[in-house]
Amino acid sequence: EDGPDCSPPLTRTIPTSSTSVYVYWAPLDRNAKCINGVLRGYKIAYKISGRYYNLQNVDVKQPTARSFLVTRLQKFTTYSFQVLAYTIEDGPLSNARDATTLEDGPDCSPPLTRTTPTSSTSVYVYWTPLDRNAKCINGVLRRYKVAYKISGTNYKLQYVDVKQPTARWIPVTRLQKFTTYSFQVLAYTIKDGPLSNARDATTLQDEPEAAPEALHILKINTTTYTATWNEVPEHLRNGLVINYEVRWIMMRKGNQAVTGKAHTSGKIDGFSYTIHGLSLCAQYSISVRAYTRVGPGPYSAPVNITTQ
């Protein structure tokens, strides 16, 4: 016996996944003179196309075989395939055919570099874009996605789709006011890659959305009353409450309706304020509001009193 003088024609190479290719050939006639012995099987030789790497071999120990699935290939990579027949030695390699493994999701993520709050409801997110030719992309880079959620929670991630593969930043909008969010970014080909490092950012303060709760008015004497209240609900403060302001307006004097001037307390640090010098036999409307450093929120529902 000797090695064959002929090779089986390689007919097709079909990628079936991002790491596998089916290779097809026309098997040799086992009685063909050029086989020079007993046909024992075939070997598939392959390498990354266009490179002078040593050929890798897969032994197909079935002399009647017509195809074989070559696995453990690199993702989205073009390979050159050939096939040979062997007896006690290898025969010559066949014609070569190329095939490119299919796209997959990236194995890498763009580094997230900065998160900058720009308003009470928006944050700019910055990242370093991936090299579009980087091997770890495993396909054609089509876009990025910015993922975010309220920091420290188990809330489901929300995503902003960035349909520009050259993009470096995106404004994330419609966020909750004065709230800390965690941001990440990923690259996308035909599916998502892994999420990047996370960075937190807190949206800026704004005016309160609600008034202080539980406003009560306590009579001290006929012309003096004390207003007390509770804090604005935490999720409606939109910042750090630094002051309160009490307002009182005369609505009636005796039996006559009046358009009274609004009086205010000025800014108060605590949760109570005593109003002095009210007129006798008058009805007053009293309310309170809170301030952040941005400004005041709405006044509370008024509490009406009548001095005696």
Question: Which tens digit of pLDDT belongs to each residue from 152-197?
Answer: 999 999 999 999 999 999 999 999 999 999 999 999 999 999 999 9
Q: Is residue 208 part of a domain?
A: no
- Please indicate, yes or no, whether residues 166 and 84 belong to a single structural domain of this protein: no
- Please indicate, yes or no, whether residues 283 and 303 belong to a single structural domain of this protein: yes
Give me the pLDDT at residue 212, please. 98
- Please indicate, yes or no, whether residues 173 and 234 belong to a single structural domain of this protein: no
10-31 per-position pLDDT tens digit: 999 999 999 999 999 999 999 9
At residue 307, does pLDDT exceed 90? Answer: yes
Q: pLDDT tier at 218 (50, 70, 90 boundaries)?
A: very high
- Please indicate, yes or no, whether residues 239 and 160 belong to a single structural domain of this protein: no
Q: Is residue 138 part of a domain?
A: yes
Give me the pLDDT at residue 53, please. 78
- Please indicate, yes or no, whether residues 91 and 138 belong to a single structural domain of this protein: no
From CA 151, how far away is CA 239, in angstroms rounded?
16
What is the residue range of 269's domain? Answer: 216-307
Q: Is residue 74 part of a domain?
A: yes
Question: Do 46 and 84 contact (CB within 8 A), yes or no?
Answer: no
Could you identify the residue written with the tokens 């396909």? 139
Question: Do 20 and 101 contact (CB within 8 A), yes or no?
Answer: yes
Q: Is residue 126 part of a domain?
A: yes
Name the residue among 31, 36, 27, 28 with its Cα closest to residue 5.
36
Q: Is residue 303 part of a domain?
A: yes
124-127, Cβ contacts within 8 angstroms, sequence gap of 24 or more: 124/169, 124/170, 124/171, 124/172, 125/169, 125/170, 125/171, 125/172, 125/183, 125/185, 126/168, 126/169, 127/168, 127/169, 127/185, 127/196
Q: pLDDT tier at 95 (50, 70, 90 boundaries)?
A: very high
Exposure of 81 by Cβ count < 10 A (0-12 exposed, 13-18 middle, 19+ buried)?
A: buried
Task: Give how many domains the chain has, as a whole number.
Answer: 3
Distances, alpha carbon 308 to alpha carbons 66, 131, 222, 257, 280, in Å: 107, 80, 6, 17, 6
- Please indicate, yes or no, whether residues 181 and 225 belong to a single structural domain of this protein: no
- Please indicate, yes or no, whether residues 67 and 136 belong to a single structural domain of this protein: no
Tokens of 182: 């965690």
Average pLDDT, the chain: 96
User: What's the whole-model pTM score?
Assistant: 0.84
Q: Is residue 207 part of a domain?
A: no
Q: Is residue 107 part of a domain?
A: no
Instruction: Show which of 202, 232, 254 is a domain's final residue.
Output: 202
34-74 per-position pLDDT tens digit: 999 999 999 999 999 988 878 999 999 999 999 999 999 99
Give me the pLDDT at residue 3, please. 96
Instruction: Show which of 71, 100, 129 is a domain's final residue.
Output: 100
- Please indicate, yes or no, whether residues 226 and 286 belong to a single structural domain of this protein: yes
Please report, for the domain that includes residue 142, its CATH number: 2.60.40.10
233-254 per-position pLDDT tens digit: 999 999 999 999 999 999 999 8
Q: Is residue 137 part of a domain?
A: yes
Q: pLDDT tier at 274 (50, 70, 90 boundaries)?
A: very high
Give me the pLDDT at residue 52, please. 81
- Please indicate, yes or no, whether residues 197 and 222 belong to a single structural domain of this protein: no
Q: What percent of the chain has pLDDT over 70?
A: 100
Give me the pLDDT at residue 260, please. 83
